[in-house]
Each structure stands twice: as structure tokens, then as C-alpha cells.
Structure 1
Amino acid sequence: MTILLPPKESLTVEFKSDRARLSDKDLIEAIVCLANSEGGDVWLGVEDDGTPTGLHPDHHVLDGLIGLVASRTSPSLSVSVVPVMINSIRVACIKVPKARGEVATSGGVYLRRRLKHDGTPECAPMLPHDRVSRAATFGLIDVSAQPVAGATLGDLDPLERERLRQAIQHFGGDRVLLELDDEALDGALGLTARQPDGQRVPTLTGLLLVGRESSLRQLLPTHEVAFQVLAQQAVKFNEFRRFPLLKALEWLETNFRPYNPEEEIQVGLFRVPVPKVDMGAFREAIANALIHRDYHRLGAVHVRLEDDALVISNAGGLVDGVTLANLLTTEPRPRNPALADAMKRIGVVERSGRGVDTIYRGLLRYGRSAPDYTRTDSANVVLRLPTDNADLSFLKLVVEEENRRSAPLPVDSLIGLSALREHKRMGADELAGVIQRDVPSAKRTLEALVEAGLADAHGATKRSRTYTLSASLYLAVGSKAAYTRQAGFSEIQHEQMVLSYVGQHGRIKRAEVIELCRVSPGQALKILKRLVEQGRLVLHGERKGAYYMLS
């Protein structure tokens, strides 16, 4: 395995000079620092500017470093050490795993890696609240079920408890809760916990849901909600509040509605509303930000309406086990389980825990772009909901299909339709990555769309079969030529077009095949691969520099 020296230090890369023999203490602290963050690599024998200067003679026996790390960390950390030669200079890459929980030096020092304001990394002390926050990220403790230090029953607001009961009725929550008195309700939703002496005290969940605003300011200063409206970089609305969560949701919804215009379309006997932002997706996205945020970190939950999107962000990255690559399919893993369970029983969020499906459906059903989580990092979750114009013809066909089956279209089907709209033509293997499922599941999704008349299949064999939006969909949006262009060209015609292009221009790249044949990146690669296998083209270069010429 070839390991390349990174160009500079980052959150997961640390350079350590070894010319004067790096002390064991500094080496162990650098390793602990990475382990308590995202893990990464310590490059021993490399200067801060990335220049390799080599290992000190005392570190030439690399096996000794593994034992040193294990004996100087608590709990013992298992690292791997890889020797690397760079321009005849020997350095070592110490690969540090991300620790589950937290790791200290044998001297009791806790450190974590973070980025400074200028984007450069540093090791910083891991304070008690950092340790609790990390444990919550891994699901080792439920902070939301813990009593809040200094809080008493007097910090709970009777008016907010009444708001909670009204919310249960409004959102269709667990109606059994309405039959309980205040003490039983608090116990059922985890709003209070009993101390060893029998006294009840508010939990974090209780304070967040039915706490007095003054108590939230004093006892939970990290909690804050902001609503901002930015129009062409001008601030039209910018207010911060420390309301309890149910009141905060009402406040956000009330202030957002004037900025959320709605039109209607006629589908059969029904009039279907078409808002700028689907309110179900709006409510679910904000509730998720409030439920899953890290209440040990400073920073408001920001709800910001920009010219082309609604952006919702909260402090605290994704919890352990949840990534952008499995967001659609992973089992629910709330950072604050007690708070999440209470909000589900009240009815504010999706009871199945699949609120992300509601968010996706709230955009894709209207022919808008999919939710965008790509700005999420280890410190913040950032969700961008595009507010581009709805595709009314597409929405009409979706509503007609939903009326026909008397059920909403599955979210995988909506994602599949969106992907076909974007990429024009796809195979099951390509869609599998988009819906974050295996190829057979993607195949079933595509075939279900074909059966519903929303997609067309092309290709005689299952292995080579590709899919486009159906002729009826293209017809509905007034683009007959687009369908003919996608469905009318056979594989042989695509190959001839590529060969003709190379004959005229001398070479072709994959991006040019995509534009020429109007196919997806995967389909373009398959066309080029077939021509290479047939001996008609020859591949030159690698990766982004790859191009093809006649053989």
C-alpha cells in the first residue's frame, strides 16, 4: 500500500519533527489529541511546513512505538505504524483510530484536536463538558435524561405544560398522555427525575420543553434559536430567542409563513397547494435541529431564509455511526434519546424516527432539488433546502399516481425520479449509490417506476438495462425532443458518435462523452470501456487526466 505525504496539516493530519528526538510526552499527547477527535495520522520525522527530515535514531525500531503508545494511554490505544520513504528520507506514519469514548495520557491529560479561526489545527484541553458531549455523540450517556444542576420544579412553567397538552391534540400525539395529571405526565415524558431523597427535579428534556424562559437563560445558556431572512445580502429579519422548544417552533412557524407564498394547482377534483417550502419538511427539519443539537456547545439553532434556499444549522456534528453516505438508511440514533422520545410522543416529529424521509419528500415531490447536507462537518449539521420553483407538471403526475395507489410514493421512488431528471439515464448500480441501498433494491425501485408508467427501461438484458423518465413525463413537461434524444439512441449509435468525435478531434474525455451523448457519468464510462475492449479506442493517462484516442 502506497501512502502519500499530505501537503499540510489538517484536523486529521499532524506533522512532528524528530530531528532532536521528539519526546515521548509530546508524541503521546499528539496521538491522544487525534484519538479524541476524528482519528488520523501523525507523521513522525516531518517538519510543520511539510518537509520530511527523517527519524531520530532512537525511533528507527518502529515496533517500539506501538508498545509505547499502548503503555502511555488510558485506556490503552492501539495504533499502527507504517514506515515511509520520501526522497530517500525515512519517516513514519502513525495511524491513530478514532476513540470510542475518550482517551487520556497515562498522566491523566485529556486533549482534543480542533481548528482555529484561521483554519489551522491545534491541540486543546478536553474540558469536562467536552467529555460529556463526546460521550453523548457515541450514545454512551443520555444528557437529555439527566437532571439539570440547580433546577427545581419552580423552573417549570404551567403555561408551557398546557401548550404541550395542546400540541399533543394538534399534532395527533399519544392521547393517553392527555389523561395524566401533571406529575404523571412529567414522569411519562421524562420531564422530571426522582432524586435519591424522593424529590423530583427537572431534566434537560423537561427544562427544554416546559421550562420558564428566565430559567432557560440562567440554567441552559447554550440554548438559543435564531430566525433570519436575507434578501440579496440585505437582512430583512434577524431575531434570537430562548423560548422553550414548543414555543420556539410556533414562533419560527409564525414568522416564516409570511415569507412562504403558496399557489395551487388543480388535480382532478382536488386543489393541491404548492408552497415555497413544504411546511411538513420545515417543521421536521427544525425539530430535528433542536432535538439532535449538542446542548454543551455554544451556538444557536439558525433558521436562515436566503434567496435560493432555507438553511438550518445546529451545533454538534452527526452522531457516531451516522454519515452523509448512510443518512437515508441508517437506524435512528438520536444524540438526546429522552428528548427525541418525548417529541415523538407529543407528535411533533415522525414517530418512526425517519424524519429525513419527510424532509426529502417535502422537496422531491414538487420536482425540487434534494436536501443538501454537504456543508455538515464535525462541529455542525447544516441542512440546505432549495427553494427553486416547483415543477407543476411533475407534481401533477406524482399526485395522480399517489391518488391511484391511495398512498404516498415511497421516498426511494421520488429520489429515483429526481436522479433520472438530473442524469437523464441511469442503471441500477448508479441509483444504488444515490438511494444508499444495494443494487437489487435500486433495481426494484426502478422497475416499480416502470410499472407505474413513470420510467422506461432500455436494453434487452437485465445486466445492461438502463432507465429514463417515461415518455408521458417528458410529454407532460413539454419536452418530447428530450425523450427522443434519451430513448432513441441505441448503444451502437452512442459508440458511433464517440468514434466520429475522436476522428474529428483526435481524442475524447469522459466529460465530453457525457455532453455528446447526454448520458450519465457511469454510462459514459461503460461506452468508453466497451470501445477499449473492442480495440477501437486506447486509454491514455489516469483519473482526471484520462483521455481516449483511436487505436
Structure 2
Amino acid sequence: MNVEFKSDRSRLSDKDLVEAVVCLANAQGGELWLGVEDNGQPTGLHVERQQLAGLTGLVAARTSPSLAVSVTPVTVGGVLVARIVVPMAKGEVATTAGVYLRRRLKADGTPECVAMLPHERASRVSSFGLMDASAQIVAGATLADLDPLERERLRQSVQQYGGDRVLLELDDEALDGALGLAARMSDGSGRRAPTLTGLLLIGRETALRELVPTHEFAFQVLAREAVRFNEFRRFPLLKALDWLDTNFNPYNPEQELQVGLFRVAVPLVDGGAFREAVANALIHRDYHRLGAVHVRLEDGALVVSNPGGLVEGVTLRNLLTIERHPRNPQLADAMKRIGVVERSGRGVDKIYRGMLKFGRPAPDYSRTTQQDVVLRLPTVEADLDFRRLVVGAERGGAELPIDSLIALAALREQRRLSVDELASLIQRDPAQAKRTLEALTEAGLAEAHGATRGRSYTLSALVYRRAGGQVAYTGQAGFSAIQHEQTVLSFARKRGRVARADVVELCHLTTDQAAMLLKKLKDRGLLQQQGERRWTSYTLAEGAGS
């Protein structure tokens, strides 16, 4: 997708060169190597192309908006070729002849340039936040396409989900304006017509089928390759969420956990995480593209997918921290004001919390592509001891910060955690990770081990005792100083010698701590040093073998 070879033996035409650049720019950007055959063999630049100084200006003059590329001459295999670095277009770019092209991969994995169709251009512009499709009036739609019953469902949803109660005081026209459900026509008539947001939220199903053909969702239940439930619908979104809730409930059994005086429900899939995941898929999907939002319960996981990849700037490495800028801002804002989704914009946090608080794995977005966002919520058995731990830590009504919950889950899973490891998990800097671990330590939920450099953390002895895992705690927290010494001497006695790396592994110490322990045993006459620097090892001193 990112590298294109173009032969220049017969002098590639300026038209073909500019179109190849536009093709890359309208995908992910990349490099165009001029003077290289399709098989990667460098054959060099045409004699008329040897002077590359004007190539940058040529591309800028023949693209709209002007595209700035960088051109570098490179000698490969004894011949001169040109490396043209093409940036990814922020929106869309065309040749000055009005040609829009984009790069894609064919079924066999090889790339090709194809025409960029109008709906693909609109989709790309939306993904960069340059246009809000959900705020646009839908061609052919009238106010008669809005369903009074769905409008009443909207008002009931505001009350049910604790939305913005100001909305309940508005008449229909004022409500349409407040949520962007309708807008004034630009023909000067002053007439109002439904926007995409209006049709999606309170539109009649017949109007949605006709005017928004890209809107569709499916609920499927697959068990050992057998299809137990498989239905596709085109309901407006609030009705869709209610329908999905109703049909998912029979497949979402829960057990009760007694924690002190309270009974805590432990469902197969957390209700809040389910609703947030499904609502996000319906809100943030690309409505320029055909394809259904799929909600699929399969063996081992609930999978929610929607057409349209992550918007520009959002990656799997910053999902937890990046400032949200949705593909459909007006629709997203309306759903927040109604109360359906997290009003702070931290819906991903809610999905993470719904998984981690039950001791289940974190949400898995790894199957996400440029075309689809795919979220997998594992339905493995809950860890009831961990759920008790979280409930106990949250007494008083305040939820644990999401960073703290991620840290506790990682300590449960990995047993021992460093600051840098947690920083990667919470997608923040090490300073924030350290503050999170220190806060857990002050709360008595974690313990620190080792010096400042190389310090690691485990769950505290109190946590292990409550879970009946004192033996596990002893193994994870390490040994006392005396036990460290005895372990090292015993190893040297059995193996004949011991090295610093052995001590690191045996006693769960840092490299510096292991070196200090060996020096201490040497200074006390219990070990003798053999070799220098990287070849250093230690043997038992005479008289220390008993």
C-alpha cells in the first residue's frame, strides 16, 4: 500500500506520474520510486528526467489542492533513480484535470489504482473531521418521515438514561433544533427538513430503508458453528438499542456474588459495556458505505463490528487517551445529550471497566482494519475474588480510576509489574504510571519491591490473604534478605558456581540488586570471585560449603 515502482525507461508521462502520486496521497501516502521496474529492478531515469529539480514543482502545479512531495536522487545498482515521498492527503486530492484516484489492494495482495467514487471521497473527508455527514439534510426527506412514536421514545430515553432534562421542556420544533434532528433548507423557502441525525434517531423505518440504505444492523448468536439467532434490522437507533438489549438478555446469564452485606451481579457480559460498544458502533460507523453493524455472540466472545475504520489520529495505541473527534459529531452529541452514551466522551473507558472489573481480559481491538472497527469482548469465566477486591476498593461510591483498574488487572495477570510496563498498558507516560502504582500502594492494594531503579510492584499481602492465596503472595513478593542469601549459596553449592543473571532469576531482583548481594556474600567470605567483567562468576569459598 505504501510503495509504488514506476519504470522511466521510456520516460513516464507527466500525467501518469502525477496520477500515481495522487493515488498514494488518497490512501496512506508512501513512496514512489521512479526508475524502478515492477519486480524491483532499478533501470534508472530517462535521460530527459536526470535533472530532478523541477519535479516537486510539477506535482504541486498539477494537483488540487497542491501536494508537497519531496524528491531525492538515489543511486541503486549503479543507476540513478528518484525517491518521491508522498504525504497522506488531509481530505482528498485530485489532478488539475479533475481525476480522483485511490490505492487499494486486490484480492491477490497486489496494489492497484482505482477511481475514487463520490461516496468514497465523502467518506474520506468525514474521517478527517472536515465534514459532518450527520448534520446534512437528507435529499428527498421531509418532516413527515419523522415518527411521532420515536420522538416519544426519545423523550422517554432522556428520563431513563438521565440525559439532559432541558430537552423534556422543548416542543417538537425546538427539540429538533436542539439535537440537530432537522435544519432549514438552503433554497430560501424557510422550510425545515430532517438531517441524517434526525432520520437515524426518530425516522420511520420505511424512510430509513429508502433514504439511508447504508443503515443496517444484525444480531447473531453462533454456538459451535450452529446459528441460534440471525436477524437483520433497519430500526431507528433508539429502537435498535432497545431491541438489541431485549434479544441479548436471554443469552446473557448472570450469577450473584455476596460481598459483605451486598449482592453483586456477575453477568456474562457487563450491561454497560454492551450498550456502550453497540451504541458506539451505530454512532461512529461510516454512513457513506454499505455494510451492517454486526453484534455477534460466538463461542468465547461478544464481537461488535462496524463499517469504517478508526478516524484520522486515532490508533490502537492511543484509544484510551486521545481527545475524541467522532466521525459523525452531531449524531454523537445528540446521543450524549439523550444519555445513551458516556457524556464525557470516555466510552472506551466504560467498555474497559466493564471487562476488567470482573477479572476478564481487556477489550480486544486487534482485528480492526482501515475498513472496519472490530471489538472483541471475551466471555471467559469471571474471577470472583478479583471482583470482590474491586468492590471493596470502591466502597464509598467512587469508582476506581481506569488507570488503577488496569494496573490491578495487570498485577493479577502478570503477578509483577514495572512502571514502564504499566505506562504501555494505560497509554500514558511513566510519571503517570508511577503515580498510579504509588496510589495503589498507599491504599494497601499493592506493594513495591526493590530500589527506585528497577522497582517492581505486586499485589499486597492483604489482597492475597483475602483471596486465600498467601502461598502465591510469598512466591511473587520475593524472599527476605536471609532467604536471598541462602538461595544463592544453595545454588552455588549444587551447580558449582553462580552468576549475576542466576541471582536475578532466582530472587526476582534487578541487575544492580543482584550485584550488591553477590558483593556482600563475597565480602563476608562466603563466595569467591572467578573471572572479570562479563565473565564474572562466583564459587563457594572454602569452609562455606557446609
TM-score (norm 2): 0.87
Amino-acid identity (%) = 69
Alpha-carbon shift at residue 419 of structure 1 (Å): 2.1
Contact 1:322/1:330, CA 8 A, preserved across alignment: yes
Contact 2:7/2:43, CA 8 A, preserved across alignment: yes
- The runs of 5 or more residues in structure 2 that have no matched partner are 518-530, 539-546
The partner residue of 1:280 within 261, 272, 286 is 272
Residues 1:356 and 2:348 are matched in the alignment? yes
One-letter code of the match for 2:44? G
Contact 2:214/2:289, CA 8 A, preserved across alignment: yes
TM-score (norm 1): 0.87
One-letter code of the match for 1:411? I
Contact 1:160/1:211, CA 8 A, preserved across alignment: yes
Distance (Å, rounded) in 2 between the aligned partners of 1:78 and 1:200 = 42
Contact 1:249/1:287, CA 8 A, preserved across alignment: yes
Contact 2:484/2:507, CA 8 A, preserved across alignment: no
Alpha-carbon shift at residue 493 of structure 1 (Å): 6.4
State the Cα deviation string for residues 116-146 of structure 1 (Å, max 9, x = none): 3333322111122222211111111111011
Distance (Å, rounded) in 2 between the aligned partners of 1:82 and 1:434 = 39
Bigger mean CA deviation after superposition, 424-433 or 46-55: 46-55
State the Cα deviation string for residues 15-57 of structure 1 (Å, max 9, x = none): 2223332222222111111111111122223332334433333
CA RMSD of aligned residues (A): 3.1
Distance (Å, rounded) in 1 between the aligned partners of 2:265 and 2:328 = 34
Q: Which has the larger radius of gyration?
A: 2
Distance (Å, rounded) in 2 between the aligned partners of 1:264 and 1:388 = 16
The partner residue of 1:414 within 393, 405, 420 is 405
Bigger mean CA deviation after superposition, 45-54 or 19-28: 45-54
Distance (Å, rounded) in 2 between the aligned partners of 1:23 and 1:422 = 59
Query: SS at the partner of 1:381?
Result: strand
Bigger mean CA deviation after superposition, 234-243 or 85-94: 85-94
The partner residue of 2:4 within 14, 33, 38 is 14
Contact 2:33/2:83, CA 8 A, preserved across alignment: yes
What is residue 520 of structure 2 aligned with on the other side? none
What is residue 441 of structure 2 aligned with on the other side? 450
- Correspondences of 1:349-498 after superposition (within 5 Å): 349-403=341-395, 405-461=396-452, 463-488=453-478
Contact 1:301/1:312, CA 8 A, preserved across alignment: yes
Query: SS at the partner of 1:63?
Result: coil
Distance (Å, rounded) in 1 between the aligned partners of 2:80 and 2:361 = 49
Bigger mean CA deviation after superposition, 195-204 or 485-494: 485-494
Query: SS at the partner of 2:40?
Result: coil
Contact 2:454/2:510, CA 8 A, preserved across alignment: no
- Correspondences of 1:109-148 after superposition (within 5 Å): 109-148=99-138
The partner residue of 1:65 within 55, 73, 77 is 55
What is residue 243 of structure 1 aligned with on the other side? 235
- Correspondences of 1:203-222 after superposition (within 5 Å): 203-222=195-214
What is residue 251 of structure 2 aligned with on the other side? 259
What is residue 193 of structure 2 aligned with on the other side? 201
Distance (Å, rounded) in 2 between the aligned partners of 1:12 and 1:479 = 52
Distance (Å, rounded) in 1 between the aligned partners of 2:291 and 2:512 = 47
What is residue 173 of structure 1 aligned with on the other side? 163
Contact 1:315/1:380, CA 8 A, preserved across alignment: yes
Alpha-carbon shift at residue 422 of structure 1 (Å): 3.0
Query: SS at the partner of 2:208?
Result: helix
State the Cα deviation string for residues 460-515 of structure 1 (Å, max 9, x = none): 33x33211122233344444343223221599969x98xx89x98xxx9x9x999x
Contact 1:394/1:476, CA 8 A, preserved across alignment: no
The partner residue of 1:163 within 149, 153, 156 is 153
Bigger mean CA deviation after superposition, 272-281 or 127-136: 127-136
Residues 1:191 and 2:181 are matched in the alignment? yes
- Correspondences of 1:294-305 after superposition (within 5 Å): 294-305=286-297
C-alpha distance 306-123 of structure 1, shift in aligned 2 (>3 A):
same
One-letter code of the match for 1:12? N
Alpha-carbon shift at residue 59 of structure 1 (Å): 3.4
Distance (Å, rounded) in 2 between the aligned partners of 1:312 and 1:118 = 27
Distance (Å, rounded) in 2 between the aligned partners of 1:85 and 1:524 = 48
Contact 1:394/1:473, CA 8 A, preserved across alignment: no
